[in-house]
Amino acid sequence: MSQEVSMVNEKRMRETFEELVRIYAPSKGERDVCDLLKKKLKALGASEIIEDNNGSVEGGDSGNLIAVFPANAEGLPSVALTAHMDCVECCRGIDPVLEGGVYRSRSETILGSDDKAGVAAILEGLALMKENFIPHGKVTAIFTVQEEIGLVGSKNIEEKYLQDIDFGYTFDADGEAGHVFTAGPSHYAMKFTFHGKAAHAGMEPEKGLNAIAMAAKAIASCPSGRIDEETTCNIGTITGGRATNIIPELCVVEAEARSRDEGKLEKLVGEIVAAFENAAGTFPSGTLEIEKVKEYDAFRIEETAPLMNLFRMACKEAGFAVKTAPCGGGSDANFFCVKGFPSVLVGVGMTDFHTNRESLREKDLYDAGELVYRLLEAESHFAGESEA
Catalytically active residues are 147
Residue 269 near residue 292 (C-beta atoms within 8 A)? yes
Alpha helices in 184-261 (DSSP H): 211-220
CA distances from 89 to 25, 26, 104, 146, 155 (A): 8, 6, 16, 12, 21
In whole angstroms, give the CA distance from residue 52 to residue 66.
Answer: 8
Instruction: Give the Cα-Cα-Cα angle 319, 320, 323 (nearest 5 degrees).
Output: 150
In whole angstroms, give the CA distance from residue 164 to residue 287.
Answer: 50
**10 Å Cβ neighbour count for 386?**
10
Q: Is the peptide bond before 115 cis (omega within 30 degrees of 0)?
A: yes
Amino acid letter, residue 98 = L
In whole angstroms, give the CA distance from residue 155 to residue 159.
Answer: 10
The answer to whether the annotation marks 99 as part of a ligand binding site is: no
In whole angstroms, give the CA distance from residue 164 to residue 386.
Answer: 11
Q: What is residue 253's three-state secondary structure?
A: strand
Q: What is residue 321's three-state secondary structure?
A: coil
Alpha helices in the chain (DSSP H): 10-21, 31-43, 113-132, 152-155, 211-220, 262-281, 306-318, 332-339, 362-378
Beta strands in 132-230 (DSSP E): 139-144, 167-173, 179-184, 186-195, 225-228
Q: What is residue 6's three-state secondary structure?
A: coil
The answer to whether the annotation marks 114 as part of a ligand binding site is: yes
Alpha-carbon Rg for the chain in angstroms: 24
Q: Which residues are annotated as a binding site for Zn(2+)?
A: 114, 148
